Amino acid sequence: MRYEAPDTIKAAVGLLSKAKGTSRILAGGTDLLVQMRSGMLEPDLVVNIKHIPGMRDIVAEKGGFRIGAAVSGAELEEHGKVGQMWPGVVEATNLIGSTQIQGRATMVGNLCNASPAADSVPAMIAAGATARVVGPKRTRDVPVENIGTAPGKTSLAKGEFVSSVFLPKPPARTGSAYLRFIPRTEMDIAVVGAGIVMTLNAKGVITAARVSLGAVAARALLVDACAKAIIGSTLDEAALDRLAAAASAAAKPITDKRGTVEFRTKVAGVLARRAAVIAYDRARG
Amino acid sequence: MPLDANTPDLRTEFKSVGTRPNRPDGVDKVTGRARFGADFSAPGQLVGLVLRSPHAHAKIKSIDTSAAEALPGVKAVITYKDIPEQAGCDKDVLVNIMARGTALYDGHAVAAVAATDAAVARKALKLIKVEYKVLKHVTDVDEAMKPGAPVIHPGRFEPVEFESLETASHVKGKEEKKTKTRAGSNIAGRYVFGHGDVDKGFKQADIIVEHEFKTEATHQGYIEPHACVASVSTDGMAELWVCTQGPFMVRDVCASLLGMDVSRLRVTPSEIGGGFGGKTTVFIEPVALALSRKAGKPVKVVMSRSEVFRCTGPTSSSSMWVRIGAKKDGTFVAADAVLKYQGGAFPGSPVEMGAMCAFACYDLRNVRIVGYDVVTNRPKQAAYRAPGAPMSAFAVEGVIGEIAEKLGMDAIDIRLKNAAKEGTVSSYGPTFGPVGLVETLEAAKAHKNYKVKLGKNQGRGVASGFWFNFAGNTCVSINLNVDGTLALALGTVDIGGSRASMCLIAAEELGISYDDVRAIIADTSSLGYNDISEGSRVTFSSGLATIKAVRDLKVRMCGRAAKIWGIPEDAVKWENGAAHPAGANAGGFDPLSIKEIAAQASATGGPLAGHYEVNAEGAGPSFATHVCDVEVDPETGAMKVLRYLVVQDAGKAIHPSYVEGQYQGGAVQGIGWVLNEEYFYGKDGTLQNAGFLDYRIPVCSDVPMIDTVIVEVPNPGHPYGVRGVGETSIVPPLACVANAVSSAIGVRARTLPMSPPKVLAALEGVNASKA
Amino acid sequence: MSAVHVSTKINGDDVEFVCRPDESLLDVLRDRLGMTGSKEGCGTGDCGACSVELDGRLVCSCLVMGAEVGGHAIATIEGMAQGDKLHPLQQKFLEGAALQCGICTPGFLIAARSLLERNMDPTETEVRYWLAGNLCRCTGYDKIVRAVMDTAKDMRKAAAKSSAKKPAAKKAAAKKSPAKKTAKKGARHAA
């Protein structure tokens, strides 16, 4: 195994493009080192991107924020302003693991590890976040929901990696929230996750919404039916019932050591409901 | 009573005992200086790794180690052929530490290597070629008992005939079949306890409640993985540094397996990072010794966390049936139980103890318990804190909770009505001496937690529990240093703060300061045989032995004073840290302090010491009552423990902080067991959750403060009244929390763990039936 | 596999070592540097027994590569006491019997110190959620949480005493923003 710590994107891309065998990016390392330790993965090349300028920065851009690939959950939380603009995204990221994990884990790493249960992903999808993909060819911005394709697999080509994530400026009266269900109070992988963003008009009617569910399919889902269930409403009980039903209907979970099909299906509806209420309150300000 | 005629009456006034000084090993532990199993390294040591079966049940057709042996850096590769069976060894342990022709569970050791570093060792493991023929497996206890189940040990266990209620599959009360069934040969033992006539007893009942229960296997969950460094020299002398609860057990078992004289193997116990019974046997130690013997160098073997879960000794999973009959006023008239425990691939599940403890809290005229010990394709079980008792208590205390609810009786009152007391003939045979169950029930009832008003979706549960506590072989030696301080050598590993307690006891007996006594845990060449630190025996047994050793020393010190004063030995007494003339006739001598006697030891005959060796008896049982409040989220089944109270009888708390610590630690292990912990097996019989991510022990935010009350009903079998306390605290929580959830949302858990999916499904069943 | 040469700072001292790329910082501390105070309980970041601070940030050393710490500063349990003076947390753990077997203790002390340096007035919930990444199997956490809160109380008293002599800026500095995160987590898990 080779370890490299390039100090430019170009150098990193060069290493990844030329590498034979398996390559991995080292940002926070909280997934990579676990996979290496379990023997699941024996990379031929590990590229530490933390020495590349910009990887650890949060930069205001076009009214929103660009978050470097190596920004840890703890740093994201401490920034404060990102959390004010997108509380749902920051609280989702901050749910990943323990305080120790938060000291290292990154949103981009969480996204690219492509676990169906990743906490930051439904929240980023709901926020309309985009991932900046750098590589040997042109740089491109990709909606985050198009990065993960299947458990552990991404749409990235050889030589490519995600250098940052962009959270756009939300319209006025927009609220975001993320909730997850875990068996304990901390430390667990999400059994179900629900990320919701909604925008209201001056009368409190929902004019736009994005609802994303995690851990109930091979990758996080962006559920149009859930958005449709609440757009045009003031999130009254009937709208919430429709939302919950749409979430349960969209869920295609499995039964495993963390939860059953029945449970995940039911709780997807419960969490969608509860997250919507929080997002609505935040939207009203 | 184990005490001789000279022993004074039970002491009730104490100066040192009952205080809370800092423990002697504490500074090393808060600075990271203390050395645990993996913290020791020997010069020139090799790294040892174990190759393990990926199959739950498979014939091992061949093992080709040639490629591994040829890898540069590899110094030894072993299979079972390197550990030939010795006459008189424990064959089950021998097979468990390394498979001999058949892999019996996922993770069963098949071979091992010792190499110059971990990377080479890992590579070497991959080069060992094992040819398996996969066999049918069985991991569920009920399935293993059925005719036609895969037989784990062909020809070893006789097929068993069942009658009526004891059929291999569960029997609902009314369908009593008098047919006989020849079941499979995975049943290693059957145990029966009880007295009276249960059939007659049930006829007197106004209410009968019976249910089936199932619990899954759990692991002790100690944070420190097993680790050891073994060093065998060419002359057959061997050293072993190891984290264990029983260094003498390790010595004797390893010597027996490896065909060594016991005296040639010296075992030094490291500090131990938790055991709870899981470190009362051997796993990697004989393998490390065999590797070292072959390689001619020290070998360090440290288990990974996944190996700890897959390949050490979790406790049994169980399938149980309990029936209790009571009168309208709550008096129990009969109790009956069938317990089926699987103990992994070898006999020895704790079903016998589970059966003995099941109804031990109650005074029953008619009681019967039948227990089955079953083998399956799972790792060989090991003790886990009150082995066998939490499962049966879960079932029994759950049924009692339901009876109380149906009769409209308070949960504590129904237990008070039937509580075992002094003179009760226990359900497992012996008659109780003074015991403290009633005191714990009354203290629980009087506690402020019992009066807290509950809100929506909140409920309160109560459960009681029992553990016998053991005594056993114990040797202690105490040496007087030249400056009057003391060196106390103990043979029982300190797993709960016992060094501090022993120093308190020695200080108490001598009338000196706690700071003048230093306790160490000796190696196996320095003391006589000590049984394992288990069974909540250490404070009782090592405490008793310390008292006797100190009294031995006092006699000798008085003898030196007598010599110095020129008076008869029986004219000297010991008081408040000094030798005094015993009465005016003895002479008007100033007392000789321990420091003064110590300073003159050499001149008066030589160094002064005391010692005591015993197979102790007289341990007293410890009863407990727990009260728990929970809140349930009815839309997700999530449960939150709001309040938890442990009331337990300690007899006499030597160091109250460490007694409280045992109460709290056991309670939280029980909370984990009931809420989230379980062994999750795949269809192929392999363990799916061999790590702390998916084997979910309680984290700090999962539990509230654990309130404790120490009740003291002295045990007449000990000079200070001590009762062991380490184990009882894990017995009540399973039913206590389950009863609380039932009280909160009307759903009774009968399978463990009570995970949210199960609670939610049960709630939906309840709501559907109400609709 | 090519070895990597690393120059770093551990507990204020300059340290150099050579390691394979697949070794974690924990492997390096324990097996190459003989610093066995940080423990391996799981190797996968689930138990916190290996907790250290990396550039002042609480992390699991089993999830940091040995190769990547060059030029950074590491704080381990071995550096927590100052000479023969125990840190107030270490002292309180001892007095409050907040340890039984002691294997998790170094990790808890490093984690608790990290909390109190950011928030000298945590609630019980904040303490519990901050420490959720540190597993203990012996104590049931009760005495650990009490020891941390008692130490915080002592630290606040000491800060108040010294700020009675100095301006109010010291008091304000005692409570920083990261406390909000843990408070949020604790409150919100009611969902």
With an 8 Å Cβ cutoff, are B693 and C46 in contact? yes
Interface check C108 vs A, CB under 8 A: no
Residue B49 has pLDDT above 90, yes or no: yes
Alpha carbon of A10: minimum distance to chain C alpha carbons (Å): 20
> What is the reported pLDDT for B163?
54
> Is C44 in the same domain as C90?
no
Residues 119-178 of C with CB under 8 A from A: 129-134, 177-178
> What is the reported pLDDT for B182?
53
Alpha carbon of B693: minimum distance to chain A alpha carbons (Å): 6
With an 8 Å Cβ cutoff, are B496 and C138 in contact? yes
Query: DSSP string covering B176-220, please?
Result: -----EE--S-EEEEEEEEES-HHHHHHT-SEEEEEEEEE-----
> Is C74 in the same domain as C87?
no
Alpha carbon of B746: minimum distance to chain A alpha carbons (Å): 19
CA B740 to chain centre: 26
Largest CA distance in chain B: 94
Interface check C112 vs A, CB under 8 A: no
> What is the reported pLDDT for B184?
57
| DSSP label at residue B38 | G
Residue B140 has pLDDT above 80, yes or no: yes
The mean predicted confidence, pLDDT, of chain A is 97
Range of weakest confidence among B514-523, B581-590, C43-52: B581-590
Cα–Cα dist B487/B519, whole Å: 6
With an 8 Å Cβ cutoff, are A262 and B688 in contact? no
> Is C25 in the same domain as C93?
no
Alpha carbon of A105: minimum distance to chain C alpha carbons (Å): 10
> Is C61 in the same domain as C24?
yes
> What is the reported pLDDT for B749?
84
> Is C90 in the same domain as C105?
yes
> What is the reported pLDDT for B285?
98
Rounded alpha-carbon distances, angstroms, from residue C72 to B190, C6, C21, C67 = 62, 10, 17, 11
> What is the reported pLDDT for C189?
39
Rounded alpha-carbon distances, angstroms, from residue C59 to A59, A68, B164, B306 = 25, 20, 59, 22
- 3-state DSSP of B684-696: CCCECCCCCCCCC
With an 8 Å Cβ cutoff, are A97 and C45 in contact? yes
> Is C45 in the same domain as C102?
no
When pLDDT is cut at 50, 70 and 90, the band that residue B586 belongs to is confident
When pLDDT is cut at 50, 70 and 90, the band that residue B12 belongs to is confident
- Give the residue from chain A lying closest to B754, CA to CA: A183
Contact (Cβ atoms closer than 8 angstroms) between residue A56 and residue A70 = yes
Per-residue pLDDT averaged across B124-140, rounded? 98
> What is the reported pLDDT for C17?
98
With an 8 Å Cβ cutoff, are C64 and A5 in contact? no
Per-residue pLDDT averaged across B576-600, rounded? 93
Residues near B54 by beta carbon (within 8 Å), at least 6 away in sequence: B106, B686
Q: What phi and psi, each to the nearest 5 degrees, are found at residue B399?
A: -65, -40
> What is the reported pLDDT for B148?
85
B436-465+620-771 placed in CATH 2.40.30.10: no
Annotated domain spans of chain B: 26-34+471-616, 137-283+290-432, 436-465+620-771
Alpha carbon of B29: minimum distance to chain C alpha carbons (Å): 6
- Give the residue from chain A lying closest to B703, CA to CA: A185
Interface check B686 vs A, CB under 8 A: no
Alpha carbon of A28: minimum distance to chain C alpha carbons (Å): 8
CATH numbers and ranges of domains, chain A: 2-167 (3.30.465.10), 174-284 (3.30.390.50)
Interface check A77 vs C, CB under 8 A: yes
CATH code, B137-283+290-432 = 3.30.365.10
With an 8 Å Cβ cutoff, are C44 and A34 in contact? yes
- Per CB-CB distance under 8 Å, the chain B contacts of A189 are 693-694
Beta bridge partners of A211: A196
B99-115 pLDDT tens trace: 999 999 999 999 999 99
Q: Indicate the residue of A1, A34, A179 with minimum beta-carbon distance to C1.
A: A1
Q: Indicate if B436-465+620-771 has the same CATH topology as B137-283+290-432.
A: yes
Nearest to B141 by CA among B172, B160, B169: B169
When pLDDT is cut at 50, 70 and 90, the band that residue B175 belongs to is very low
- Per CB-CB distance under 8 Å, the chain C contacts of A31 are none
Does any domain span residue C177?
no
- Per CB-CB distance under 8 Å, the chain B contacts of A259 are 757
Structure tokens at B444: 């629980």
Residues near B192 by beta carbon (within 8 Å), at least 6 away in sequence: B355, B368, B369, B370, B371
Cα–Cα dist B202/B206, whole Å: 9
With an 8 Å Cβ cutoff, are B691 and C90 in contact? no
Range of weakest confidence among B119-128, B314-323, C166-175: C166-175
Residue C185 has pLDDT above 60, yes or no: no
Q: How many Cβ atoms from other residues are within 10 Å of residue B599's Cβ?
A: 15
Residue A212 has pLDDT above 70, yes or no: yes
Residues 691-720 of B with CB under 8 A from A: 693-694, 696, 698-699, 701-702
- Per CB-CB distance under 8 Å, the chain C contacts of B703 are 140-141
> Is C51 in the same domain as C90?
no
When pLDDT is cut at 50, 70 and 90, the band that residue B224 belongs to is very high
Q: Indicate the residue of B689, B693, B761 with minimum beta-carbon distance to A262.
A: B761
Does any domain span residue C14?
yes
Say what the ipTM of the complex is: 0.96
With an 8 Å Cβ cutoff, are C139 and B657 in contact? no
Q: Indicate the residue of A189, A259, A266 with minimum beta-carbon distance to B693.
A: A189
Which of helix, strand or coil describes residue A132?
strand
Interface check A62 vs B, CB under 8 A: no
Structure tokens at B440: 């714990």
> What is the reported pLDDT for B167?
43
- Give the residue from chain B lying closest to A182, CA to CA: B638
- Give the residue from chain A lying closest to B638, CA to CA: A183
- Give the residue from chain C lying closest to B33, CA to CA: C37
C53-83 pLDDT tens trace: 999 999 999 999 999 999 999 999 999 999 9
Cα–Cα dist B716/C161, whole Å: 52
Dihedral-angle region of residue B174 (phi above 0 means left; psi in -120 to 50 means alpha; beta otherwise)? alpha
> Is C92 in the same domain as C167?
yes
Largest CA distance in chain C: 59
Residues near B443 by beta carbon (within 8 Å), at least 6 away in sequence: B625, B647, B709, B711
Task: Report the neighbours of B using a cutoff of 3 or more CB pairs below 8 angstroms.
Answer: A, C
Contact (Cβ atoms closer than 8 angstroms) between residue C148 and residue C89 = yes
Instruction: Enumerate helices (H) and strands (E) in chain B, giving the number of each.
Output: 19, 28
- Per CB-CB distance under 8 Å, the chain B contacts of A188 are 693, 696
Contact (Cβ atoms closer than 8 angstroms) between residue B654 and residue B725 = no
Burial level of B48, CB count in 10 A (0-12/13-18/19+)? buried
Residues near A164 by beta carbon (within 8 Å), at least 6 away in sequence: A54, A55, A66, A67, A68, A69, A108, A131, A132
Q: How many Cβ atoms from other residues are within 10 Å of residue A58's Cβ?
A: 18
Alpha carbon of A8: minimum distance to chain C alpha carbons (Å): 16
> What is the reported pLDDT for B159?
76
Residue B170 has pLDDT above 50, yes or no: no
> What is the reported pLDDT for B344?
98
End residue of a domain, out of C79, C98, C126:
C79
> Is C18 in the same domain as C51?
yes
Number of domains in chain C: 2
Interface check A31 vs C, CB under 8 A: no
> Is C43 in the same domain as C111?
no
> Is C59 in the same domain as C112?
no
Residue C171 has pLDDT above 70, yes or no: no
- Per CB-CB distance under 8 Å, the chain C contacts of B25 are 102
> What is the reported pLDDT for B242?
98
With an 8 Å Cβ cutoff, are B701 and C186 in contact? yes
- Per CB-CB distance under 8 Å, the chain C contacts of A271 are 191
Task: Report the neighbours of C using a cutoff of 3 or more CB pairs below 8 angstroms.
Answer: A, B
Per-residue pLDDT averaged across B260-276, rounded? 97
- Give the residue from chain A lying closest to C130, CA to CA: A99
Cα–Cα dist B140/B378, whole Å: 9
Instruction: Enumerate helices (H) and strands (E) in chain A, giving the number of each.
Output: 11, 14
Fold of B26-34+471-616: Aldehyde Oxidoreductase; domain 4 (3.30.365)
> What is the reported pLDDT for B164?
42
* CATH classification at residue C19: 3.10.20.30
Identify the residue among A266, A271, A273 best suited for mutation to test binding to B, counting B beta carbons within 10 A and taking the highest. A266
The mean predicted confidence, pLDDT, of chain B is 94
B431-486 pLDDT tens trace: 999 999 999 999 999 999 999 999 999 999 999 999 999 999 999 999 999 999 99
B297-344 pLDDT tens trace: 999 999 999 999 999 999 999 999 999 999 999 999 999 999 999 999
| DSSP label at residue B283 | S
Tokens 């001892």 identify what position? C94
Regarding beta strands B58-64 and B129-134, do their DSSP bridges make them parallel or antiparallel, or are they unpaired?
Answer: antiparallel
Interface check A22 vs C, CB under 8 A: no
End residue of a domain, out of C47, C79, C111:
C79
Cα–Cα dist C62/C45, whole Å: 6
A90-123 pLDDT tens trace: 999 999 999 999 999 999 999 999 999 999 999 9
Residues 75-94 of C with CB under 8 A from A: none
Question: Helices B411-418 & B437-446, crossing angle to 10 degrees?
Answer: 160
> What is the reported pLDDT for B177?
43
Residues 273-302 of B with CB under 8 A from A: none
CA A266 to chain centre: 22
Structure tokens at B75: 């110094």
Q: What percent of chain B has pLDDT over 90?
A: 90
Q: Indicate the residue of C77, C103, C140 with minimum beta-carbon distance to B31.
A: C77
> What is the reported pLDDT for B8?
45
Burial level of B310, CB count in 10 A (0-12/13-18/19+)? buried
* CATH classification at residue C161: 1.10.150.120
When pLDDT is cut at 50, 70 and 90, the band that residue C168 belongs to is low
Alpha carbon of A128: minimum distance to chain C alpha carbons (Å): 24
Q: How many Cβ atoms from other residues are within 10 Å of residue C85's Cβ?
A: 9
Residue B188 has pLDDT above 60, yes or no: yes
Contact (Cβ atoms closer than 8 angstroms) between residue B610 and residue B488 = no
Cα–Cα dist B411/B627, whole Å: 10
Cα–Cα dist C127/C106, whole Å: 16
Structure tokens at A33: 């080192």
B654-664 pLDDT tens trace: 999 999 999 99
> Is C75 in the same domain as C102?
no
Contact (Cβ atoms closer than 8 angstroms) between residue C183 and residue C128 = no
Does any domain span residue C23?
yes
Does any domain span residue C179?
no
Per-residue pLDDT averaged across B188-199, rounded? 94
Tokens 């799916």 identify what position? B688
Rounded alpha-carbon distances, angstroms, from residue B365 to A125, A236, B194, B418, B735 = 66, 62, 9, 11, 24
Contact (Cβ atoms closer than 8 angstroms) between residue B137 and residue B56 = yes
> What is the reported pLDDT for A160?
98
Alpha carbon of A263: minimum distance to chain B alpha carbons (Å): 5
Residue C176 has pLDDT above 60, yes or no: no
Cα–Cα dist B670/B734, whole Å: 6
Alpha carbon of A63: minimum distance to chain C alpha carbons (Å): 24
Beta bridge partners of B486: B480, B517
Alpha carbon of A266: minimum distance to chain B alpha carbons (Å): 8
With an 8 Å Cβ cutoff, are A186 and B699 in contact? yes
- Give the residue from chain B lying closest to A257, CA to CA: B680
C31: containing domain: 1-79
